[in-house]
Structure 1
């Protein structure tokens, strides 16, 4: 059975785990650590350990780190950072060695996802910026070449044909190439959208509210091994769960979110 872990964070994915961990174990992040780092875990005991030596060459972090994705098939780690006149993506090996940096076609990264098969390596970024590249979801190859843009660059909207976004928060790409998107980091939209690999809408839930399949700042999305889509419904302080094939609402979990809603959700399997 897949183990489910929900991570609550204010700053980004890598801080999300530490916030949750500190609630139970009293762990605190030293204030001088502002760059990305690695947490190792031993599945047989579920013990986590901060690796303070990762990454090598932390001087490459010239902006504010915000999100991270791991391509475990090829041993690559992608870290997205925010700031002006800086490369928005840094690429490391899993051992922490810096490989390269790219690119200048992102305004403000919010979510990043590495999707790799034996035939293709791709990196997806959701852009919540208000500049000429913002309000889009972009697909790159592993060297930072822009492959695909979803949405209208620099223009927010609610349209479905063509598809438009307003502060798209995050996405998940499954092994079939289908794409799950949460669109609405405090903008016009509060939507969960499933796209096919050729970018056609398969199903969506898109209404602001507190009831089933309604959202208030859907902030993170993932899919587990049982075929369930998990959404961090941040403003409603809950997780919502859907069937990935039909989009059917399966339930909600709100019993452990009181002070702040969940910002990130991930599912781990042993």
Structure 2
């Protein structure tokens, strides 16, 4: 019965006027500054927006062997949209996830290197997990890891997504603690865990992308519930708002009509849809493969686009 009620609430929300609107002219990047596919986005307590991008590099099989020579991390002032700094040149093969933790450090995943990194906001390397360029499924290796979620004690979860379809838990020092998940459609199983976040209740929220659902777990990986429906769609990225609401970017299912693909979704802590905004397309406020989502301390929402190769800012309608 709960699932039926939930789906009805999703359909109802689809016809409401969006509560978030795009901020036109944001960001204000210098001429010639190349973002390319924007894979990850996060915001720190100083309202600095960090974008992890591929600087023109395209996904290929196999991945290139050489690192991207251009900067792959752009730091943007959330209020003005002005570019503050760049770094990350000659470090990454295929940028993917970006998470800003409570201390302001950045956690980056590279699916080409099969590694997870912790950096200062200025780009100083603090921690590396995984063996460079070597995929694996043991406790010391990843296989195309996608994202990181960090707890207040600095321990963290990694969604080891494309191949191993698992979530791994590590101590603050990077020591493996436990893991859960395998390939499948059942509770606690995944078909590409793509984004991950931890809410204020300590629940681990995983974007089970190809199963088109969010799965919620307790801190030890115990399955709690799944949220799915037409408005959640195919969740690529998930972020927490300051109010405790959950924000999801739906990358869009190819099986749907264009007008039903790709939007951002705001849910309350019980999974009820509060708002949906954006649509498929290349115009302002539209998305071409939304890939990640983050919420600033002031409640502004930022969406990183894949094919659209940009980052957009949304604010709540007054």
Match of 1:138 among 109, 117, 127: 117
Query: Runs of at least 4 residues of structure 1 off by over 4 A?
Result: none
C-alpha distance in 1 between matches for 2:114 and 2:25: 35
Q: How far apart are 1:55 and its partner, in Å?
A: 1.3
Structure-2 change in CA distance of 1:116 and 1:267 (3 Å): closer
C-alpha distance in 1 between matches for 2:241 and 2:102: 17
Structure-2 change in CA distance of 1:237 and 1:143 (3 Å): same
Q: How far apart are 1:63 and its partner, in Å?
A: 2.7
| TM-score when normalising by structure 2 | 0.63
Match of 1:91 in 2: 75
Q: How far apart are 1:173 and its partner, in Å?
A: 1.0
Alignment of 1:144-159 (within 5 A): 144-159=123-138
- Aligned residues of 2:148 and 2:158 also touching (Cα < 8 A): yes
Q: Please tell me whether residue 109 in structure 1 is matched to residue 95 in structure 2.
A: yes
Q: Please tell me whether residue 265 in structure 1 is matched to residue 238 in structure 2.
A: yes
Q: Please tell me whether residue 128 in structure 1 is matched to residue 111 in structure 2.
A: yes
Match of 1:209 among 184, 208, 211: 184
Secondary structure class of the residue paired with 1:235:
helix
Q: Which runs of 5+ in 1 are unaligned?
A: 1-19, 28-45
| TM-score when normalising by structure 1 | 0.73
Alignment of 1:1-270 (within 5 A): 24=14, 47-59=19-31, 60-71=33-44, 73-82=45-54, 83=57, 84-95=68-79, 96-103=81-88, 104-117=90-103, 121-129=104-112, 134-160=113-139, 163-185=140-162, 187=163, 189-244=164-219, 246-256=220-230, 261-270=234-243
Q: How far apart are 1:135 and its partner, in Å?
A: 0.5
1:29-52 superposed Cα distances (whole Å, 9 cap, x missing partner): xxxxxxxxxxxxxxxxx8212112
- Aligned residues of 2:14 and 2:231 also touching (Cα < 8 A): no
1:160-216 superposed Cα distances (whole Å, 9 cap, x missing partner): 1xx10111011111221021111122x2x0101121112223331132112221111
Q: Which runs of 5+ in 2 are unaligned?
A: 1-9, 58-67, 244-318
**RCO higher in 1 or 2 (8 Å CA, sep ≥ 6)?**
2
Q: How far apart are 1:257 and its partner, in Å?
A: 6.7
Q: How far apart are 1:25 and its partner, in Å?
A: 6.4
Secondary structure class of the residue paired with 1:208:
coil
- Number of residue pairs matched by the alignment: 217
Q: How far apart are 1:65 and its partner, in Å?
A: 2.2
The alignment's C-alpha RMSD in Å is 2.3
C-alpha distance in 1 between matches for 2:26 and 2:71: 20
Secondary structure class of the residue paired with 2:109:
strand
